[in-house]
Structure 1
Amino acid sequence: MRYMLLIYGNEAGMAAAPADAVTQMSSAYVSYTEALKKSGAWLAGDRLKPTQSATSVRITDGKTNVLDGPYADTKEQLAGFYMIEAEDVDAAIAWAARCPGASTGTVEVRPIWELTM
């Protein structure tokens, strides 16, 4: 089954982090991604640009509303994702627990609702 690992973190905290901490976190992500790929669980993944580069789109009364930035003002922001293949939710949770982002923020595990057409 496919799962999304949605990585949430504090953008302001990362922007203020010392360069060596950022380098250490980047190295941890490289190792984590390599482990996912080696296991065969990795399907896709990427970092996201900061929330100020986001655009939110909403339709209200048939009218398209476009807003700069994220819709919600939250303590943690969506920073990236991995799409993985896992035997079950417990295996997906185990991968989420190994994600470097879990030690500084939150990794949400969401099963993908497979479309059957």
Structure 2
Amino acid sequence: MLYTLFIHNADPREAGVSQDDMAPVEAAFGAYAKELDEAGVFVTTQILGFPDAATTVTAVDGQPKIQDGPFADSKEYVGGVFVIDVPDLDAALAWAQKCPGTMYGAVEVRPTTLTWSREREWYQP
């Protein structure tokens, strides 16, 4: 079953964290991705840009509206995701506990109910 691990964290720039300070964090996430891959549960990962680089698109009343910035103004944001393929929630939670994101934020675990591929279109994984 597919699960997405959402990594929620505060903006490290606001805490004065430099790029040099981030090197061990990046190394920890690299090691985590390799561990997931070696265990055969890794599907994909995406580390996202900062919210101030976001653009939000809505279509209220059928009219497109584009705004700079994230949809919600929040101290914490989704900084990245890992998608894993594991047998059940217990296995997903075990992997979430190993995620380096738990050291400075929260990791939300959510099951995938539908996914899409070119070959199969919408299906339940």
- TM-score, normalised to structure 1, is 0.90
Letter of the 1:10 counterpart: A
- TM-score, normalised to structure 2, is 0.85
Moved over 3 A (4+): 12-15, 18-21
Letter of the 1:98 counterpart: K
* 1:35 equivalent in structure 2: 35
Please, which moves more after superposition, 20-29 or 43-52?
20-29
Identify if the C-alpha distance between structure 1 residues 94 and 58 changes in structure 2 by more than 3 Å, giving closer, same or farther: same
Identity %: 35
Q: Where is the helix percentage greater, Structure 1 or Structure 2?
A: 1
Letter of the 1:94 counterpart: A
Aligned length: 117
How big is the alpha-carbon RMSD for the aligned residues of Structure 1 and Structure 2? 1.8
Unaligned runs of 5+ in 1: none
Give a deviation string over 1:21-47, Cα, whole Å, max 9, x none.
311111111110110000011000021
Identify if the C-alpha distance between structure 1 residues 75 and 38 changes in structure 2 by more than 3 Å, giving closer, same or farther: same
User: What is the alpha-carbon distance in structure 2 between the residues aligned to residue 18 and residue 116 of structure 1?
Assistant: 43
Relative contact order (C-alpha < 8 Å, sep 6+): which is higher?
A: 1
Deviation at 1:18, TM superposition (A): 4.5
* 1:51 equivalent in structure 2: 51
Contact 1:14–1:22 (CA<8 Å) still a contact in 2? no
Alignment of 1:1-117 (within 5 A): 1-13=1-13, 16-114=16-114, 115-116=122-123
Letter of the 1:51 counterpart: P
Deviation at 1:14, TM superposition (A): 6.8
Deviation at 1:8, TM superposition (A): 1.0
Deviation at 1:94, TM superposition (A): 1.0
Give a deviation string over 1:7-28, Cα, whole Å, max 9, x none.
1111145762255531111111
What is the DSSP-based 3-state SS (H/G/I as helix, E as strand, rest coil) of the residue aligned with 1:61? Answer: helix
